[in-house]
Amino acid sequence: MKITEIKIDRLSIPLKHLYKLSNEYGELMTTTPIVVSIFTDSGIVGHGECDPWPAFTGCSSESTYVVLQKHIVPALIGADPCNVNEIHRLMDSVIRNQQIAKSAIDMAVYDIWGKATNQPVHQILGGKLRSEMKVMWSIGGSSPDESAKEVLEAKERGYYGCMIKIGTDFKLDAARTIAVREAVGPDFPLIADANQGWDVDTAIRYAKAVKYCNLLFFEQPVQSWDIDGMARIKRAIDIPVSADESVSNIHEAVQLIEAKAADVFSIKVTKNGGIMPAKAICQYAEANGILLFFNSMIEEGITQAASLAVSATCSNIVTTIGHAYFSPQRLDGDICSYHKQIKRGFVEVSDAPGLGIELDQDAVKRYLVESTVVVK
């Protein structure tokens, strides 16, 4: 089987509501995914997605589109899509780094591999350990009363826990966290994510201020490069520490473990460069006693399906709270069938071939900004 052409669609999709994050990231009202469709001489088509976010990933939708169009995609025409190692070698041979762009290609070739062999991607990765995953919700910055109301609504809708976005004003964020805990009671799972918004001292002050809120873990309190700061926080507080922006590749995973700087790794398939590199991080984490939390990038259903294929095969996942498989529900609409797998508080692991999703071409057209096709 050979790749004959690749279509790249750059989209812009509004969120249903304003999403206020840390001081580092500000506010979001739109997400800008790129969808890649890889066509083969056998007639099989695979779909992938990447989710550029300049403040988080260091690349924009526009720049990622150009990287795919001018560098990565031309190098793949004629290649065997089922040889994922060779696909990654070809991508690395024409441009280094660019994990976000490469993640879309990676997802699409895994989708083809599964369809060609009539098996779901999770089977290719070793087989699923569960048929469904718990799903949580996430709230952005607001007042204490508004935060408490939103999390209480999430609880009533059946979500299995909630992530509270913090990393702005320390006192306000502590008040929000306490208000949420008082509203939902002692047993509803809660985590807090500062998205690099604070320094070490502020993060420790926050953790001590909310020590009775029973947070399951505290995600990315400081800048991604500050591994020493993560380790200092981990030693100083009683709440487990999760690394998100600090663990984008296997090399950073090694650094974090050697520094004893994290208890949990936040996995995002598009951030980690695709299914293959994300699975490598997961396996290394498991070998070193690190738990896995599957997070999202304000992404569409293709990336969510790819993430689900990985998480279904991992034994060391966090089980005390749901994972971030709600992302399309935050958006104006899903561009594929993934959202149908989400039931009250859970998402079903598909056993359909490939990623188990169908692309909604009408939805792609509705959100389309620009498109290109590269052929042999």
- Give the model confidence (pLDDT) of 138-149 as tens digits: 998 889 999 999
Residue 228 annotated to the active site: no
pLDDT at 324: 94
Rounded to an integer, what distance in angstroms lies between the CA atom of residue 188 and that of residue 241?
A: 19
DSSP per residue over 280-326, as a string? HHHHHHHHTT-EEEE---S--HHHHHHHHHHHTT-SSB--SS-BS--
pLDDT at 195: 95
Q: Do domains 3-119+360-375 and 123-348 have the same CATH topology?
A: no
Residue 193 annotated to the active site: yes
pLDDT at 25: 84
- Give the model confidence (pLDDT) of 183-198 as tens digits: 999 999 999 999 999 9
Rounded to an integer, what distance in angstroms lies between the CA atom of residue 268 and that of residue 256?
A: 17
pLDDT at 207: 97
pLDDT at 310: 98
Question: Which listed residue (9, 24, 173, 219) is catalytic?
Answer: 219
Tokens 């951030």, located at residue: 271
pLDDT at 55: 82
Question: Which listed residue (150, 244, 252, 334) is catalytic?
Answer: 244
Question: Which listed residue (165, 234, 271, 279) is catalytic?
Answer: 165
Give the domain ranges of the chain.
3-119+360-375, 123-348
Tokens of 374: 């590269």
Q: Parallel, antiparallel, or unpaired for β 45-50 and 34-40?
A: antiparallel
What global pTM score does this model have? 0.96
Q: Which CATH number fits domain 3-119+360-375: 3.30.390.10, 3.40.50.620, 3.30.360.10, 3.40.50.300?
A: 3.30.390.10
pLDDT at 63: 96
Q: Residues 123, 128, 134, 139: is their CA dihedral positive or negative?
A: negative
Residues 6+ apart with CB under 8 A from 107: 36, 46, 47, 48, 49, 269, 274, 275, 302, 303, 306, 355
**Diameter of the chain by CA atoms?**
61
Q: Show the low-confidence residues of the chain (pLDDT under 50).
A: none
pLDDT at 142: 86
Question: Which listed residue (24, 173, 193, 299) is catalytic?
Answer: 193
Residue 219 annotated to the active site: yes
Q: Which CATH number fits domain 123-348: 3.20.20.120, 3.40.50.2300, 3.90.380.10, 3.40.50.2000?
A: 3.20.20.120
Rounded to an integer, what distance in angstroms lies between the CA atom of residue 307 and that of residue 282?
A: 12
Q: Residues 260, 261, 262, 267: is their CA dihedral positive or negative?
A: negative
Residue 340 annotated to the active site: no
Rounded to an integer, what distance in angstroms lies between the CA atom of residue 166 and that of residue 192?
A: 7
Residue 155 annotated to the active site: no
